[in-house]
Structure 1
Amino acid sequence: MRDPAPAPSGSPMTGGLADSVWETARVRPALPVLARRTPAGDAWRQVTAAELRDEVAGVARGLVAAGIAPGHRVALMARTRSEWTVLAHALWTVGAELVPVHPTSARDQVEGILRGSGCVAVAVEDEQGAMTVGSVCAALPLLRHVWQLDAGALAHLTERGAPVPPTTVDSLRRIVLPDATAVVAHTSGTTGRALGCALSHRALADPCDRLLAGWGHTAAPAGEQPSVLAFLPFSHVYGLMVQNICLRGGILLGHEPEAGEATLAPALRSFRPTYLYAVPSVFERFHKGFLRTAQQEGRGALFERAARTARDFAAALERRRTGRGAGPGIDLRLQHALYERTVYRGLRAALGGRVVRASSGGSPLSRELALFYEGIGIPVHDGYGLTETAGGITMQPLGREKAGTVGKALPGTAVEVADDGEILVSGPSVFQGYVGDEAATRAVLRGGRLATGDLGHLDAEGYLTITGRKKDVILTSGGKSVAPALLEQRLRAHPLVHQAVVVGDDRPCVGALITLEPEFLAHWRAGLALHGDAPGQKAREENALREEVGRAVAAANSAVSRAESIRVFRVLPEPFDVAGGLLTPSLKPRRSAIVERYAFEIDAMYQARSPRRAAADAMARWEESDDVFR
C-alpha cells in the first residue's frame, strides 16, 4: 500500500493550476498520478508524477514554439483521455486559456464557440473532428493551428519544442496569477444558446481544494492511494473538476472515453477505482443493470428484498446521525448482514470491488437511490454546482449526510434562496463573466451574488434541496405552475423508463415524452409468457407494455398533487442523445430542442383526447392519464 499525496494545505494560492503538477513531482516524484490502458486494453500502466511533469513540460515547450502565448485561447475537442489532461496542463503552464468543446458538437456549434472565444488553435481527437473544424476555418480568421491527437499531435509538439529552453516555460508558469482566466467553459444550453463562462485558476482550484481538505481522506481505505476512473466529459465543468481534484490531490487518475454500459462496466472492473464520480443517470443505469442481471439469474425477488433492506438500513442510519432515531434494530441488522454476504458484495464487485464512496452531480440524485447505494456499502454524496461556479458549491457534511438534499455550502461559499425560490451563490468559485456578453453577465451577477436560475429551498440546518430550473417551470393553460424535475426523476426510477421530459406549457394538462431502456426492454419482452398467433402476441405485448409504462406514470403522479399529475404521455421510438443535439454533454435534456423536435408527437398526444364538449365539461376528460404509443 502507498501513502497518498498530502491534500492541499489551505495556504493562499499564488500561481496557476499547472503548479500542482510541478509541486507533486517535487514532493513525491515516484507517486503514480495517471494510469493508461495497455495496448491489449485489459491492464493499466501507471505514470509517475515526475513523468507527467516531463510530458507536460515537453508539450508546453512545443506550444511556445508554435507561437502560443499567455492569454491565447486554445480549444480542445476530444473525449476523456489522458492526452486531454496533458495538453490542458501544458496550456496552463504557458498561461494560455483552455476552451473545452464536446467532440460531438455540430458544425455550427463548433464555429460559434471557436469564433466567439477567439481561439488561435484547436486540438481535435480524430479525423472527423479535423474535418468538422476544417469546414468552418474560413469563418475563423484567428485560427492558426489544428492539431489531431490520434495523429500524434502531442509527440509532434514535443519534438517541435526541443530547441526551446526549459527555463522559458518555467518562467511562463511562474508568472501565471490565480485570478487569470484558465478556462472558457460553455454552459450546457439546456434552455437556450450556450454561453462561454470565464473561469479563473482560483475559481477552478478552490472547490477542489475545499473538497480535498474536508473529504479527501474518505476516498480510499486508510493507507491506500485513492483512484478515480474519469468517464464524464472534460468538456463539462463537472468532468473538469474531477480531473483537477485528482491532479491536485495526488489521486490516481484513469480515463475512459466511452461511458456506455458495454465499455464502462469492464473498465471499472479492470481499473478498480476507490472513488466514483458520476451523474444521476449513471447511478440509475447501474441500479437497473443490477436488477436486470438478478432477474435474468432468477434472483429478481431476492434483489428486490435486498434493495428494500438496503434502503431501510440506510434510512435508519440517517435518522441516528441526524438525532431522530436510534439506528437499525437487531432484525434489520441481521437482514442487512445476510444480504451483505449474498447480494451487496456482488454489486460492489460489479463496480470494481474497491469503491468506498461516490459523488453525484449535474442534477439531483433521488433520495431512494442515495439510500440504496449507502445501504449496499457505497455512500453517494450528492452535491450541487454549475458551470458559472466552476463546479462545486455544496457537499454532504461527513457523518451528517442527508439523502434527498445536495448537502450544505462548502466553506467560503454562501448560499441563499430568494423570495421567488431562486438559489443565489457567492464565493471564490463564481465566474468572471460571460465572454463577449456583458448584458448576460449583468443579468446574473447581482451585488456580488450569482443568480443561478435554479430553484430550491434551505432547511433549518442549512441543507439545500433543488426543486428545478426557473426556465423549466411549466405553466398550463389553466394557470397551474408545475416544476417537472420531481416527476421526471420518479418516472426514471421505473426500470423500463430510460428518459423522461415533462411538457405542458399552454396545454390543458401535464404530459410526458418517455423513452425506454433498451437493455431492460429486451429483458422484459423475453420474460413475457404470451401465447397465440404472432399478430395476437404483438397486440398483447403492446398492451402489456402500455400497462407497465402506465404504472410508472401512476407511481410518479403519487408524488404530486392531482393538478400537477401527468395525464397524457407518449413513448418515443428512440432515446435522446448528445450526438442528436437533444442531450447536453452532462446528459441533461435540452428541453427546447426536444419540444421542437417532437412538436408533431406532442400535438398528437394532446389531440388524441381533445375535448369536444363545453370547456367546463371538457376538462373532466383529462382526469385520467392516457398514453399514445404511435
Structure 2
Amino acid sequence: MRTIAELPFAAAGAYGDQSAHRAKRDGAWVDTSFKELADTVRALARGLIVAGVAPGDRVALLAETKPEWTQAGLAVVAAGAILVPVYPSSSVEEVDWILADSEARLAICGDGTQVAKVTTVSTVDMSAGGLAALAADEGDAELDRRLAAIGPDDPSIIIYTSGTTGPPKGCVLTQRNWVALCEINAQLPYIVGGDVVYLFLPLAHVFAQITQFACLHAGATLAYFSGDVRAIVPELAEVRPTFLPSVPRIFEKIYTAVQGAPAGVVRGVFGGRLRMALSGAAPIAVGVLEFFAEAGVPVLEGYAMTESAGVGTVNTLAEHRLGSVGRAAPGTRIRIADDGEVLMSGPHVFAGYWRNFEATTATLVDGWLRTGDLGVLDEDGYLTITGRKKDIIITSGGKNIAPANLENDLRQSRWISYAVVYGDRRPYPVALLTLDPEEILPWAASRGLPADLTLLAGHPEVRLLMQDVVDGVNARYAHAMQVKRFAILDRDLTQESGELTPTLKVKRAVVHRNHGTLFDTLYEESDGRG
C-alpha cells in the first residue's frame, strides 16, 4: 500500500463481506461490510470530484463520531483533497479560524448545529441527506486517475492542535505518515484481524484517526458509540469489545465506580472479553493501571502527539512497565535532549505546520521532533514522561516542580474531578480543585448537607475532606513540592468555558485567566492551611 487513500479499497479486496463498521440504528447494532464501505467511499469521492473539489483542496469535516464521518473523510482523501477535521465542540470563532487558516473550500457537517457554525464556505449537511445527495454514480476514470497520482509525501490530513496555549496550529500529515502507522500496528500488534474496537473518541483527534486506519488495515470491526456519553458504559456491555482506545477520564470514572468489586464484575463492565485497552492523550495514575491489571483488564499507556501521527512509544501485552509510556515503536527513535526534552524521529513524524514556517523550524530540528515534553529513559529503553516544558513551575525559591504529578495524585481521590496546580514565580504550589458531583452529592446527602455544588464548595466538612486528600498526597512529596493551600471551585471545568480540550485535557492558561483572582487569594492567606 503506497498511500492511505488506497486503504478502503485495499481493505475491501482483503476482507470483503466481513464487518468493517458497526453502529446502532433504531436500537439495534447494524454492520457494514468492508466492500459496502469501499463502495460508499467511492461514490462520495466521485461526488466530490463532480462538485468541483480539486486535488489539494482542503475540505473540512465537522461532525460527531459516527460511520458517516469515516465515510466522508476517506472520500475526501481518495479524491486527492486534504481533509481538515474540526471538533464538533468547537465554537464559531474556532471554526472560523480553522476554515480561514486552512483556506477550506467546503465543509461537511454532521447536522444543522454544525452547519450554523460555518459562515464562509459551502456546506454539506449529513443529517439532511447531504451525503446521499453528494454521491455520484459516474466518474470512476477520474477518481482512479487521482488515486494513482497521489504520492506518499502528499498531504492527506491537516489536524489542528487543540490549542492549550494559543490559536491551534495545523499539523500536516502525509500519506506516508498514515501508512507507517498501519505498518507499525501490524508489527506490534495492537489491533488485529477479528478484533471488535469500540470508538467514542472524537474523530478530529489523532487517537481516533489511528484507530480507524488500523482497523481498516487489520480487518477489525470498528463499533461507533451512539453519540451519548452517558451510554458508553452500557454500550461496552453490548458491543463487548476486544480492544478499547480511551482517554484516562473514562478509566478513572470506571475505577471510582467499581473499586472493591470482584475481578469478574470489573471485566464485565467492559463486556467480558477485552484483550487490552490503550490509554492516551493525557497521563493516567499508576494506581488506576494496577487496579485494572489485577482485575484482568490490561490498560496500557503509549505516548505520541498529533505531530507524530499518534505514534511514539508503546507498551505491549508482552513487554510493558506500568507507569512508563513504553519503548520506541518499530521504526521510531527516541532520545532525551540535554535539557530533558523528549525528541522523536521516524517515518510517522509530520511534515510541518500548515503555512507556519516559524513554528515548523522550531519544532523540527535536525530531523528530530521536539515534543515539548520532559522525560527519562531507563536502562531498558522505557520512557517515563515527567511533565511539559511549558508547564514546569519554578517557584520564587528556584525549585522546579512538574504540576502533572501532583495533579494526577490528587485526582486519584474519588471526590476530585480536576486539580490544577499553580505556583510559577510564587513561593509555593497551590491547587484549584473541582468536586466530582457523582461522588460528592451522595456523600453530602448521607450527611444532611445541601445537594448543591456551589454551597458544598465552601462547606467546612467538604473543606476538611479535601484537606485530608491534600495532606495524603503531600506526604509523598518533599516539603518544597507540597501543595500549601487550595481552593474548591463551585463548578467543574468544562469545554464550554474553554477550560478543557475536546479530549478533556486542562487548558492551564484559560483556567488561570478565568480564576486568577482565586489563585491570588491563596497567596494572601496567612494560616498555612487550605
* TM-score under structure 2 length normalisation: 0.95
What residue in structure 2 maps to residue 459 of structure 1? 378
What residue in structure 1 maps to residue 253 of structure 2? 285
| C-alpha displacement of 1:371 | 1.2
Please, which of 140, 147, 161 is the counterpart of residue 187 of structure 1?
161
Say whether 1:351 aligns with 2:270: yes
Find the residue that maps to 1:391 and give its secondary structure. Answer: coil
**Aligned residues of 2:458 and 2:488 also touching (Cα < 8 A):** no
Structure 1 letter corresponding to 2:301: D
**Aligned residues of 2:421 and 2:432 also touching (Cα < 8 A):** yes
CA separation of 1:426/1:597 partners in 2, compared to 1, >3 Å: closer, same or farther? Answer: same
Please, which of 439, 442, 463 is the counterpart of residue 361 of structure 2?
442
| C-alpha displacement of 1:398 | 3.8
What residue in structure 2 maps to residue 566 of structure 1? 483
| C-alpha distance in 2 between matches for 1:265 and 1:541 | 32
Find the residue that maps to 2:188 and give its secondary structure. Answer: helix
Please, which of 224, 230, 243 is the counterpart of residue 275 of structure 1?
243
**Aligned residues of 2:21 and 2:221 also touching (Cα < 8 A):** yes
CA separation of 1:363/1:540 partners in 2, compared to 1, >3 Å: closer, same or farther? Answer: closer
Structure 2 letter corresponding to 1:277: P
What residue in structure 2 maps to residue 228 of structure 1? 197
Find the residue that maps to 1:194 and give its secondary structure. Answer: coil
Please, which of 81, 84, 87 is the counterpart of residue 69 of structure 2?
84
Listed as ranges, the matches of 1:60-459 within 5 Å are: 60-134=45-119, 137=120, 143=121, 145-158=122-135, 161-162=136-137, 164-216=138-190, 225-256=194-225, 258=227, 260=229, 262-291=230-259, 303=260, 343-459=262-378
**Aligned residues of 2:197 and 2:222 also touching (Cα < 8 A):** yes
| C-alpha distance in 1 between matches for 2:470 and 2:256 | 18
Find the residue that maps to 1:454 and give its secondary structure. Answer: strand
| C-alpha distance in 2 between matches for 1:568 and 1:552 | 12
| C-alpha distance in 2 between matches for 1:276 and 1:548 | 34
| C-alpha distance in 2 between matches for 1:608 and 1:153 | 59
Say whether 1:604 aligns with 2:521: yes
| C-alpha distance in 2 between matches for 1:354 and 1:385 | 27
| C-alpha distance in 1 between matches for 2:93 and 2:22 | 35
| C-alpha displacement of 1:251 | 1.0
**Aligned residues of 1:235 and 1:585 also touching (Cα < 8 A):** no
Find the residue that maps to 1:119 and give its secondary structure. Answer: coil
| 1:228-253 Cα distance to aligned partner (Å, 9 max, x none) | 11111111111211111111111101
| C-alpha distance in 2 between matches for 1:555 and 1:125 | 46
What residue in structure 2 maps to residue 552 of structure 1? 469
Find the residue that maps to 2:421 and give its secondary structure. Answer: strand
Find the residue that maps to 2:231 and give its secondary structure. Answer: helix
| C-alpha displacement of 1:539 | 9.0
Identity of aligned residues (%): 37
| C-alpha displacement of 1:117 | 0.6
Please, which of 41, 44, 52 is the counterpart of residue 37 of structure 2?
52
CA separation of 1:441/1:469 partners in 2, compared to 1, >3 Å: closer, same or farther? Answer: same
What residue in structure 2 maps to residue 323 of structure 1? none
CA separation of 1:502/1:541 partners in 2, compared to 1, >3 Å: closer, same or farther? Answer: closer
Say whether 1:575 aligns with 2:501: no
Please, which of 25, 33, 36 is the counterpart of residue 20 of structure 2?
33
| C-alpha displacement of 1:116 | 0.6
| C-alpha displacement of 1:432 | 0.5
| C-alpha distance in 2 between matches for 1:372 and 1:239 | 25
What residue in structure 2 maps to residue 317 of structure 1? none
Find the residue that maps to 2:141 and give its secondary structure. Answer: helix
CA separation of 1:599/1:259 partners in 2, compared to 1, >3 Å: closer, same or farther? Answer: farther
Find the residue that maps to 1:191 and give its secondary structure. Answer: coil
| C-alpha distance in 1 between matches for 2:142 and 2:21 | 26
| 1:25-65 Cα distance to aligned partner (Å, 9 max, x none) | 112211110012121x2x21111111111111111111011
| C-alpha displacement of 1:541 | 9.7
Structure 2 letter corresponding to 1:192: G
What residue in structure 1 maps to residue 405 of structure 2? 486
Structure 2 letter corresponding to 1:67: G
| C-alpha displacement of 1:473 | 0.6
| 1:354-375 Cα distance to aligned partner (Å, 9 max, x none) | 2121111112222211111111
| 1:183-213 Cα distance to aligned partner (Å, 9 max, x none) | 1111121222211110001112312321232
| C-alpha displacement of 1:506 | 2.4
Find the residue that maps to 2:447 and give its secondary structure. Answer: coil
**Aligned residues of 1:362 and 1:586 also touching (Cα < 8 A):** yes
Find the residue that maps to 2:485 and give its secondary structure. Answer: strand
**Aligned residues of 2:433 and 2:488 also touching (Cα < 8 A):** yes
| C-alpha distance in 2 between matches for 1:84 and 1:46 | 16
| C-alpha displacement of 1:259 | 6.3
Structure 2 letter corresponding to 1:21: P
What's the C-alpha RMSD, in Å, of the aligned pairs?
A: 2.0
Find the residue that maps to 1:283 and give its secondary structure. Answer: helix
| C-alpha distance in 2 between matches for 1:178 and 1:285 | 41
| C-alpha displacement of 1:529 | 6.9
| C-alpha distance in 2 between matches for 1:541 and 1:602 | 15
Structure 2 letter corresponding to 1:36: A
Structure 1 unaligned regions, length at least 5: 1-12, 138-142, 292-302, 307-342, 610-620
| C-alpha displacement of 1:100 | 0.9
Structure 2 letter corresponding to 1:32: S
Report the structure number with the largest CA radius of gyration: 1
| C-alpha displacement of 1:278 | 0.6
Find the residue that maps to 1:98 and give its secondary structure. Answer: strand
**Aligned residues of 1:397 and 1:408 also touching (Cα < 8 A):** no
CA separation of 1:594/1:257 partners in 2, compared to 1, >3 Å: closer, same or farther? Answer: farther
| C-alpha distance in 1 between matches for 2:144 and 2:316 | 39
| 1:493-529 Cα distance to aligned partner (Å, 9 max, x none) | 0001111111112222101111111111122223337
* TM-score under structure 1 length normalisation: 0.81
| C-alpha distance in 2 between matches for 1:197 and 1:372 | 36
Find the residue that maps to 2:312 and give its secondary structure. Answer: strand
CA separation of 1:257/1:585 partners in 2, compared to 1, >3 Å: closer, same or farther? Answer: farther
Number of matched pairs: 527
